[in-house]
Structure 1
Amino acid sequence: MKKIVLFFFLCLILLAGAGFWGFQQLQQFLHQPVNVQNDQLLTIERGTTGNKLVALLEKERILEDADRLSWLLKLHPELNKIKAGTYSLNGINTVEALLKLLNSGKEAQFSLMFVEGETFKTLRKRLENAPHLKQTLQGKSNDEVFGLLDIDTNLNKNLTESHVIDGWIYPDTYNYTPNSTDLELLQRAAERMKKALEKAWNNRDKNLPLADPYEMLILASIVEKETGIAAERPQIASVFINRLKAKMKLQTDPTVIYGMGEDYSGNIRKKDLETPTPYNTYVIDGLPPTPIAMPSEEALQAVAHPAQTEFYYFVADGTGGHKFSRNLNEHNKAVQEYLRWYRQQNGK
């Protein structure tokens, strides 16, 4: 009887020892290195736990022998709450770090910048080249894309093919996860612009010579293109507001360039200023039919609250800013000053 008890006692010791050894092996497995590459992504489908995760990690060669993972997940059920998504494996060097990442739900993040003053034509090319962004707009014209953005088309007067989206995309940096779509990013940006425009219009100064929010958007895009200096925007806006009130042509070069399209090669000639297009503000009265770029919220606010000035003209001052003038005589003098500065800088 004593021998039987001793035998069972020894078996229990052996089992306990084996269990302790197995536990230690699994704990060590937690700290085992994983094989990952720089910028490697791992996509986890819904319902991927246990054996499915083992098979996936072996298939991706992240773990060469992942059999112990199933036991580890049973021992640590808190690590088996795997969430579906696409994850960046940058900085992941152990099994434990990998499991914590897959349990966190923190998917890989990418970003794309929509730049103020940019046209949708330029933006669309960068959308097409954005990494891990699902392309759904290929083959669609710009006005078809515009139709998907849920914008009140009653605001858009005299729209022309390929120009309809310009102005409606809010410039900012947008984060997205893999397999987000290009349309989703545009919808987010368009929604922000609608809210920014509504805010600017509802809180605008009184007696602005603008018929509706869309005209504010158009003028803000012109202000955006005329200066990159934030402090100047209210003064630039004041010049155009003063001109509109006085029924003067806006005479702004960025609209001419926009209207020239592919014909613009870097210089504006006298012939270009005299050639009629819907956007040539040296020829047409008032505003062009659509915005010419993506305006910033600061440009919208500058139009909503322009500086109170008597300026009707401005010209570059050679330092990145502008010289503002009240009348044509002052303006001509400012132009001559700029030309003298330009010749000195270029040795002419």
Structure 2
Amino acid sequence: MCYFDYTLYKRVKKITFILKISIPIIIIAYLFLYAFTPQSFITSKPKLIVINKGSSLKEIVYRLYNKKVINNPYLFYFIGFISGYSRYIQEGTYYISINESPAKIYHEIVNGRVATSKVSIAPGLNIFEIAEILSKNHITNKKLFLKKCYDKKFLLSIKLDAPSAEGFLYPDTYIFKINSNPKDVIKDMVNNFYLKTKKIKPNYKDLIIASLIIKEADEKLKNSTGFISSVIHNRLKINMPLDIDSASIYAMNVKMYKNYLRDGNAYNVILNMKPRYLKVKSAYNTYLHYGLPPTPIANPDIEAIEAAMHPAKTKYLYYISTKTGKTIFSDNLSGQIKNIDKYLK
């Protein structure tokens, strides 16, 4: 004879009911705890993670796991799947750390909070120097940036009718996205140039002269830009060679860049003058060619541009840079020789 234990039945039913309620609660609580808890409390540097357009959630999770910024790919994937985040993830390059919670990581990549880098472009840097800075800060590819600086079709699309972007990349502090399209970087810098110069409206000749000034000017002497501008203008008036070292250095950089495009050989930006640069066959060599170089040789700031447009009224034809960086001027060759003997020997 079989006896039915009603008390036991009620107890089992109660336990079953509790389990049906508690197990989902425990699972939800665990997922919630995982989602909002940093995956590691050991301080670690953020890593650059690239999310390409059209990447699936599975591909993204796999990349994050390989970069060791998540420790449980299955739970991370599950949260992204059930939350619907996978449909809203934006392409871009992100700084992600294992010290972040999964919820924070999803928040960043869903809202497109891409990694950025703050860079300062000093007055007087040329496109080759700027390309190096941008590359070192992971902002854009050096080779692609320089190619776009010479891309006539692209330059015309941003209303820049010039042989290159040289002279139009305004020196300033910028915040760029990591792995930016070089077109966007150039466009931002050129737009800044137009914004800063809209009141004075320099022409192309002004920019060429301004670029020579900014390369030659004494940073410690504020009014040296006006004096150097007067030397350039005075020499141009009497058809006297400009004899500017900075232009010869630029000629070598242009030559090195062309070799780089042709042969693929790595190169470093040339910064210092050497005697052999005086003989380089180039339109930028102002020792061999009269008049101005064909393009700017650097990117000047507003002060240099204004100095080019409004030179100081002097009779100066010569100047030297002393060992301390000061610029000394003279209006004749004998004065120049005396200054050389006094300050450079």
| TM-score interval for Structure 1 and Structure 2 normalised by the shorter chain | 0.5 to 0.7
Residue identity in the other structure for 2:47: Q
Q: Are 1:106 and 2:113 counterparts?
A: yes
- The gaps in structure 1 that reach 5 residues or longer are 203-212, 343-348
* Alignment match, 2:323: 318
Cα distance in 1, alignment partners of residues 281 and 88 from structure 2: 65
1:229-255 deviation per Cα after TM superposition (whole angstroms, max 9, x unaligned):
161222222332344456554343333
Q: Are 1:222 and 2:212 counterparts?
A: yes
Residue identity in the other structure for 2:228: I
1:316-348 deviation per Cα after TM superposition (whole angstroms, max 9, x unaligned):
233201112344454443232113xx3xxxxxx
Cα distance in 2, alignment partners of residues 322 and 286 from structure 1: 22
- The gaps in structure 2 that reach 5 residues or longer are 1-5, 257-269
Helix, strand or coil for the counterpart of 1:148? helix
Cα distance in 2, alignment partners of residues 276 and 68 from structure 1: 65
Residue identity in the other structure for 1:250: L
Q: What TM-score, normalized by structure 1, do the two folds share? A: 0.67
Q: Are 1:267 and 2:243 counterparts?
A: no
Root mean square deviation, CA, Å = 4.7
Q: Pick the aligned partner of 2:140 from 133, 137, 142.
A: 133
Q: Once the 2 structures are TM-superposed, how far is the Cα of residue 25 of structure 1 from its aligned partner? A: 1.6
Q: Pick the aligned partner of 1:33 from 39, 46, 71.
A: 39
Q: Is the 8 A contact 2:140 2:182 kept in 1?
A: yes
Q: Once the 2 structures are TM-superposed, how far is the Cα of residue 89 of structure 1 from its aligned partner? A: 1.2
Cα distance in 2, alignment partners of residues 250 and 303 from structure 1: 14
Identity %: 25
Q: Is the 8 A contact 1:49 1:82 kept in 2?
A: no
Cα distance in 1, alignment partners of residues 72 and 48 from structure 2: 20
Cα gap change, 1:5 to 1:72, in 2 (>3 Å):
farther
Cα distance in 2, alignment partners of residues 242 and 139 from structure 1: 34
Q: What TM-score, normalized by structure 2, do the two folds share? A: 0.67
Cα gap change, 1:103 to 1:258, in 2 (>3 Å):
closer
Q: Is the 8 A contact 2:245 2:273 kept in 1?
A: no
**Is 69-78 or 101-110 further displaced after alignment?**
69-78
Cα distance in 2, alignment partners of residues 53 and 255 from structure 1: 49
What is the aligned length? 319
Q: Is the 8 A contact 2:148 2:183 kept in 1?
A: no
Q: Pick the aligned partner of 2:226 from 227, 234, 240.
A: 234
Cα distance in 1, alignment partners of residues 245 and 305 from structure 2: 19
Cα distance in 1, alignment partners of residues 240 and 84 from structure 2: 74
Cα distance in 1, alignment partners of residues 97 and 293 from structure 2: 49
Cα distance in 2, alignment partners of residues 52 and 256 from structure 1: 51
Residue identity in the other structure for 1:92: N
* Alignment match, 1:289: 294
Helix, strand or coil for the counterpart of 1:107? coil
Cα gap change, 1:241 to 1:82, in 2 (>3 Å):
same
1:287-333 deviation per Cα after TM superposition (whole angstroms, max 9, x unaligned):
23322233333321322343444533322233201112344454443
Q: Once the 2 structures are TM-superposed, how far is the Cα of residue 7 of structure 1 from its aligned partner? A: 7.2
Q: Is the 8 A contact 2:38 2:98 kept in 1?
A: no
Residue identity in the other structure for 1:107: V
Cα gap change, 1:29 to 1:245, in 2 (>3 Å):
same
Helix, strand or coil for the counterpart of 2:319? strand
Cα gap change, 1:20 to 1:272, in 2 (>3 Å):
closer
1:68-115 deviation per Cα after TM superposition (whole angstroms, max 9, x unaligned):
456656997899964443311146343343233334421122466655
Cα gap change, 1:167 to 1:48, in 2 (>3 Å):
closer
Q: Is the 8 A contact 1:200 1:304 kept in 2?
A: no
